[in-house]
Structure 1
Amino acid sequence: MLNKTKFMLAAALVAASQLAAADTAEVKISNLTLSVSGGEWWYYLPTEVGWVSPTGGAMTGLTSPSFDDSVVGWHGNALASSVHDGGSMALAQLTAKTSGDMNGVTASASATAIGGQSAWAFAKVFDGQIMVGGNATITVTAQLDSILATGSMAQANAYIELCSTDFTTDTCSPANFVEAFVDASSPAYHGPTLLTASWTNPGATNWAKMHIGLTASADSVATPVPEPTSLALWLAGLAGIGLYRRRRV
C-alpha cells in the first residue's frame, strides 16, 4: 500500500512540475466589418484573381520537436491549421459567412506549451491590397471576444493596420493602426473590446494595403523533475505527516 502511495505521489509531483511550466496564449475576434463612407463611397477587394496572392491564411508550429502546418486561401473562406505534441498545441482558425466577403469573419489563435516546448499560431484574416474610391474612408471593426496570456513566456495580440501604398513601399500612419496585446508581464487586457481602424483616401481612386491578423505564442520553461534522492526525502516527509495525522486521530 505504501509503495502504491509513493508511486501516486511521485506521478502527481511530475504532473505538477509540468503544469507549473505550462504557458498558454489565446485571442479571439468576431463580427469583423469593413465599411466605407464619404467621397465616392466604394471599395474593391480582389479575390480569386491571378494577379495578386491569396489574402488569408492560418499557420501553426511547435519547435521541440519541430512540427508545422499552414494553409492559404482567399479572405472570407474557412481556413484552419493545427499541430499537437502531447499536452502542447497550436491552433489558428478562420470562419466566414460568404467567400470573398470580409463582413462576419471570426478568427482565433491559441498556443499551449508544456515541458520546454515552444508553440505559435497565426491567423491571417487579411493581408493584401484594397482599392478605395476617391476621397472615401474605409473602416475596419472587430469585436475582441477574448485575449489572455498565462505563464512566464506567452503573448497574444490582435491587430488592424491600413497603409498608403505604391506597391513597393507601404506608409502606415499610427492613426490607421489598432492593436490589443497581452504578455506575461501584463496578462490582463484593459483596452477597448471593439477594435477600429480607418484610412481615408486623400485623392483620386487609389490602392491601400490592409493587414488584419491574430498571433499567439507560448514558450514553456522545462522544470526539472527532482533527483531520486530528493524525491525519496519528499515522499518520506509526506509519509511521516500521514503517520502523524493517523496517530492524532
Structure 2
Amino acid sequence: MHSLPDGYRALVMGASGAIGSALLQLLQSDPRCGLALGVSRQSSPGLDLLNEASIANCAQSLAAQGPFHLVLDATGALTVNGRGPEKRLDELEAAHLLAALHLNAVGPGLLLKHFVPLLASGQRVIWGKLSARVGSIEDNRKGGWYGYRAAKAALNMLLQTATIELARRRPLAVVVALQPGTVQSALSQPFVGDDAMRPEEAAQRLLAVLDALQPTGRAQFVDHQGQSIPW
C-alpha cells in the first residue's frame, strides 16, 4: 500500500473469512505496514455484527492501537440461518429478509458508526467494504436473490451517505464498495464453479485497486479490476 503513510495502521473486520484472512496476511507481510490487526466473531475482542454492544466494545478496545489509515470490512454472508438467496418472489419471508438486511447492511452500518472515529485525521485514509455487483440497481438484469440484492443496495446507500459526512472532516478519505469477483470461499461455495479466484489473488487485486483510488468526497463502487460499477 504505497499510497498510505509509511508505518500505516490497518484493521481487517471479518478476518476469519476467506477474503478477510487473505487481506490480513498480505497487510501483515507489507514492510510499510506498522500494524495490521484482524477481528472477527472468534477474536478477542470479538465482533458480532448482530450486537451493537459488541461492535462498540470492540471499537473501544482497539482505539488505543489506532488511529488507523486502512479499515477493511470483509463481513457478510450469502447464506443466513441456513437459507440461501431467494430465487423467486414467492420465496420471500419477512424474517429471512430482515435477517439478511441485519447481517449485510445494518451491521456494516454500525461498524461505520463506531469505527470511523478511529480513522486518522489530516492524512489519506481508506475504508474498503466488500459489497457485491448484485447490489447495483442499474446492473440488475437477471432478478432473483432478493434479500441479498436488497441488503447490498442498502449497504451501498449507507456507505455513500456516510462518505458525504466523513468528507467534511477527513477530505483525504477514500470510501469504497468493493466487488471482489467470484472467489473460492465457504460463503460462495454453493454458488460458484471451479473457475473462481483464490482468496489470495482476490485480496491482491483489491489492495491494488484501493491503492490507486483518489478521494472524491463520494463513495466509489468498483470491482477487483478497478472498473466502476453503476449504483
Larger radius of gyration: 1
User: Taking CA–CA contacts closer than 8 Å with sequence separation of 6 or more, which of the two structures ends up with the larger relative contact order?
Assistant: 1
TM-score for both structures, normalised by structure 1? 0.30
Q: Which has the higher strand share?
A: 1
Q: Which has the higher helix share?
A: 2
